[in-house]
Structure 1
Amino acid sequence: MASQNPGDGGDEQSPPPAPPFPARPTYLSFSHDASCLIAADEASVQWRCCETFKLRGLYEESGATAAAGDMRDRNQSTCAVVRRAGAGFEVRRFRPGSLNYSSRYDSVRIGGGDDDDDVRSVHVHGDRTVVVHAGRVDVFGLDDGRRKAAVLQRRVETGDNRAGACAVSRGPPGSPFAFACPGVNDGNLRVERWVGGFTPLVIGAHRWRVASVAMSWGAKLVATASVKGTIVRVFRVADGELLQEMKRGFDRADIYSIVFSPDSEWLAVSSDKGTVHVFHINVCSPSSSKTGCQDTTQSYESYGAKAMKKYVSSIKDLLTLGYFDPERSVAQFHLCDNVKYLVAFGTRPNKNIVLIIGMDGSFYRCQFDPVNGGEMKQLEYTNFLNM
């Protein structure tokens, strides 16, 4: 679904004035590339630019419960919406370049009916649409024929996944497609890669049920947290090897979001404890030289190592060292407790920018120091519900 963006020009009709932000959003997220925030209420779904808050996309139909997709370029947009339809749900996938800001639609209906009363989230990758139910994940592709129909390509059963946890690879058109979701058994993570066909891999990620998952843009790494919410783990997608373990905190927490930076060097985590953590990913990419990777790891480990030694020495009579093997975050940003905040990395290259949005309308743009760490610097704050 793309929209006519006011001021873009080049269309034969002038779009109507942009509507206000949903006063009480029922759904909030970032677009896949973090160029837009997506807000929905019972009347509409809006894509708003994270830089200017101008309207990029608009879906005006009642009952929307979730949405996904990118709107940086309206001619290459890849968007989908989940909405209530009778006793169940339906998913509508909007074709690249289709306009609906002026009530012109070009979409494909995926699923629907009473048997789809448990759709929890939706993701897009190229012409594929990943529909997440409470107990399964369906992958649809667009038929190349004239029917413009959605075809079920893959169905994966999961365990209890009422939160709709699922991660899909990102990147430019033609990039590798993969997705990760909770496995059937508690603690398992299932990863599916497309390599001429779907290649499944089951990883024993945690002792407790997997509650949140993220995948790197190039589909090489996957990060997970369980319902306990204290430990975040990073695995290699190719073989499921555990590469890194990070400590979010000591107390049990509900993880609201996990996200990789586009270059896979950083991982951000938000939870109901009101603190956003940024971790450095100490993993060599396949393209990195051994020497260069070691130098990068040492430069960023210095801060974490110093902080760890200081912390352990201050309470060493209360713990065993093994409990603190997981790495601590490099940078943090403190917010209100018990408000759902979602996090993403900014699109400005080499600026170490973190974006945070909250269900209370909060929007923060922050910057972290990759060497010295500590509290992030707040660059911008606004409440988009008041616009």
Structure 2
Amino acid sequence: MDASEQSHETIKFISFTQDAKIISTGHKDGITFYKTSDLLENQVIQSETMKDSGLHNSVLIQRLHSSALFFAVSEKDPRALNVYNVHNKNAITSLKFRKSILAVRAHKDRVVVCLEDSIHIYILNEMKLIHSIMDTPMNLRGVIDLTSNPEKAIIAYPGSPDTGSVHLFDAINYGSMNTFVAHEGALACLKFNQDGLMLSTASVKGTVIRVYSVPSGSRLFEFRRGVSRCVTISSFCFSADGKYLASSSNTETVHVFKLEKEEAKTQETGEVSWFDTIHKTLAAYLPTQVMQVSELVTTERSFATARLPGAAKSNQVALIIHNNHQHVMAATSEGFVYSYRLDPEGGELDLIKQNCIGPHAFQQTVPTIDDSMNFPPMNFRSM
């Protein structure tokens, strides 16, 4: 059995922290953390591993930014939330729930636990339950997000099991903020940007990605990932400056979208598009019809794409500033991490670094892309 097959069997979970500084991996032996800066610049990759028996085969991990605190759910007992300190290797507490935990989100003041039909909010420093949202619409995918902005704690979750309705809830004042329809189909992925003022959304169809203003729910951007096949969007990540949005799925392509309004492009280039002229001329006469056409025509494709060497069951993506350059990093459920530098001009991005992580990363030096023991063969398929 080669390294890729062993990694595929043993890696149960992989994700980036909210600040994209650490990758968390859950595997048969426990949990291992990697610094993304190490993966970008070092030949020898440092890692921290927790091998407590309660962490074996962890299927959910949520580390609070780059702090020592993290939360984990093991395949052995999916109803138990385990809280640990990674620095002193100590277990802090464990909470039991009536059903399987589908998602966990952490904030400097709050911890949010999502079950299929309820959401539970805890005070972080005490791990004390302070509010429960009961009888939520059935959410079998555990689609949920929590703002990381320390000044607010807003939860976004599906308002319907069948349509793409988004509900916003204030986890500080315990009240509903807004509900709006983001897609026709059921939601597959939600993600706030770092200041909590924007929310990206995708439905189970996965062809259209939208960005909404928070808490108003007004649509800011719409992007078309592709039309040739439906995909499962597995992660979003906004850049720290809010200028880019990256998405990953179960395909071999990572998309990067530029969050730039048409007015900003016009100001930069000095050009006015034919559509802008027609839109302004006809808006006074046919406002509803023109608005419908506007939404269709202004739907844009991705600004940049990064091609992974092969498709995986699930890919997680992050946008990282390193040495004053914006990078795109993709971590796969196969145990591989691929890094690309984001060209300001967009287009197809060049792979600049690759790493093998997980319990069967036999080498801690960076392997080459041609090493079949560490990487699958290049296999680019059309979107």
TM-score (norm 1): 0.75
Aligned partner of 1:231 among 193, 208, 230: 208
Structure 2 residues without counterparts, runs of 5 or longer: 1-6, 39-44, 274-292, 364-383
Residue-by-residue CA offset, 1:65-113 (whole Å, 9 max, x unaligned): 21111463xxx43321112565x51112346x8621xxx33x132333x
Q: 1:363 matched to which residue of 2?
A: 337
Q: Confirm or deny: 8 A CA contact 1:141 1:153 kept in the other structure.
A: no
| 1:322 to 1:245, Cα distance in 2 relative to 1, 3 A | closer
Q: 2:11 matched to which residue of 1?
A: 25
Q: 1:177 matched to which residue of 2?
A: 153
Deviation at 1:324, TM superposition (A): 4.7
Q: 1:242 matched to which residue of 2?
A: 219
Q: Confirm or deny: 8 A CA contact 1:275 1:333 kept in the other structure.
A: yes
Structure 1 residues without counterparts, runs of 5 or longer: 1-20, 284-292, 306-319
Q: 1:272 matched to which residue of 2?
A: 250
Deviation at 1:294, TM superposition (A): 5.0
**1:99 is aligned to 2:76:** no
Q: Confirm or deny: 8 A CA contact 1:223 1:233 kept in the other structure.
A: yes
Q: In the aligned structure 1, how far is the partner of 2:270 from the partner of 2:237?
A: 20
Deviation at 1:180, TM superposition (A): 0.9
3-state SS of the aligned residue for 1:51? helix
Q: In the aligned structure 2, how far is the partner of 1:364 from the partner of 1:299?
A: 33
Aligned partner of 2:317 among 343, 346, 351: 343
Q: 2:59 matched to which residue of 1?
A: 65
Q: 1:82 matched to which residue of 2?
A: 73
Q: In the aligned structure 2, how far is the partner of 1:337 from the partner of 1:64?
A: 23
Q: In the aligned structure 2, how far is the partner of 1:301 from the partner of 1:41?
A: 53
Q: 1:161 matched to which residue of 2?
A: 139
| Structure 1 residue runs of 4 or more that deviate by more than 3 Å after TM superposition | 156-160, 194-199, 293-302, 320-325
**1:54 is aligned to 2:46:** yes
Give the aligned length.
325
3-state SS of the aligned residue for 1:252? coil
Q: In the aligned structure 2, how far is the partner of 1:301 from the partner of 1:340?
A: 42
Where does 1:256-335 land on structure 2 (aligned, <5 Å)? 256-282=234-260, 294-295=263-264, 298-299=267-268, 323-335=296-308
The amino acid across from 1:231 in the alignment is V
3-state SS of the aligned residue for 1:346? strand
The amino acid across from 1:379 in the alignment is I
Q: In the aligned structure 1, how far is the partner of 2:27 from the partner of 2:203?
A: 29
Q: Confirm or deny: 8 A CA contact 1:108 1:150 kept in the other structure.
A: no
Q: 1:15 matched to which residue of 2?
A: none
The amino acid across from 1:155 in the alignment is I
| 1:153 to 1:93, Cα distance in 2 relative to 1, 3 A | farther
Q: Which has the higher contact order (CA 8 A, sep 6+)?
A: 2
Aligned partner of 1:135 among 104, 117, 129: 117
**1:39 is aligned to 2:25:** yes
The amino acid across from 2:74 in the alignment is R
Q: Confirm or deny: 8 A CA contact 1:158 1:181 kept in the other structure.
A: no
Q: In the aligned structure 1, how far is the partner of 2:234 from the partner of 2:47?
A: 25
Q: Confirm or deny: 8 A CA contact 1:110 1:150 kept in the other structure.
A: no
Deviation at 1:63, TM superposition (A): 4.8
Q: In the aligned structure 2, how far is the partner of 1:301 from the partner of 1:252?
A: 37
Residue-by-residue CA offset, 1:208-246 (whole Å, 9 max, x unaligned): 001111101111010100001000111111211111111
Percent of residue pairs identical: 21
Q: Confirm or deny: 8 A CA contact 2:12 2:26 kept in the other structure.
A: yes
Q: Confirm or deny: 8 A CA contact 1:363 1:381 kept in the other structure.
A: yes
Q: 2:278 matched to which residue of 1?
A: none
